[in-house]
Amino acid sequence: MKKTTIIGIAGGSASGKSTISMKLKKEYENENSVTIIRQDDYYKDQSHLTMEERVKTNYDHPFAFDNELFIEHLQRLSSGEAVKKPIYDFVNHTRSSEYEIIEPSDVIVIEGLFILEDERIRNLCDIRVFVDTDADTRFIRRLVRDVKKRGRTLESVIQQYTETVKVMHDTFVEPSKKYADIIILEGGHNQVAIDLLTTKISSIIQTNML
């Protein structure tokens, strides 16, 4: 059985992790060789809580994630098994009733805040990447994203950022940078770094074809 290579991409909120992941996916979309999995889809199910209780959850703390399921799925994909990946509903703050079938592939790119923070996930990664983007840039990107795409108010985004996001970043995300094999500055705008990752992925795919 051909080996599955897992590339972990970590970094602060709105640092450009998803942009990098999608650029890599687009490069190989006709080959079905690269799969993208977002840690955000593995937020814990909160359907048993009221909306008022769900809103109070600290979504920028590692405890908000169902990493046990995330790790199980990565292990099964590495063993050649398909999985039913959950889909998170960011408007209703709980796991959606829908899911996505993920098939094994040559390369699995996982991206999220705590990819390098959790030792178990970190150890599953063959290549560890940290996206390092200026805090002001990340805040502006998050503000625009959450208001336009996640139904949030301007006031709620600012409050969440000042009360939890920045503190959690400094406590958990930033320290995990020391585990990275590669540090990418400015996220998806760093084309040189993306080209280097693309070259590495192409090499992996070609090796698996032999």
CATH of the domain at 97: 3.40.50.300
Residue 21 near residue 111, CB atoms below 8 Å: yes
Whether residue 210 is contained in a domain is answered as: no
Residue 201 near residue 127, CB atoms below 8 Å: no
Q: What pLDDT was estimated at residue 90?
A: 87
Q: What pLDDT was estimated at residue 191?
A: 92
Q: Does the pLDDT of residue 12 top 80, yes or no? A: yes
- How many structural domains does the chain have? 1
For the stretch 172-189, pLDDT in tens is 999 999 999 999 998 888
Whether residue 208 is contained in a domain is answered as: no
pLDDT band at 1 (very low <50, low <70, confident <90, very high): low
Whether residue 133 is contained in a domain is answered as: yes
Whether residue 209 is contained in a domain is answered as: no
Range(s) of the domain holding residue 66: 5-203
Whether residue 151 is contained in a domain is answered as: yes
Q: Which residue has the tokens 């995300």?
A: 173
Whether residue 107 is contained in a domain is answered as: yes
For the stretch 160-170, pLDDT in tens is 899 999 999 99
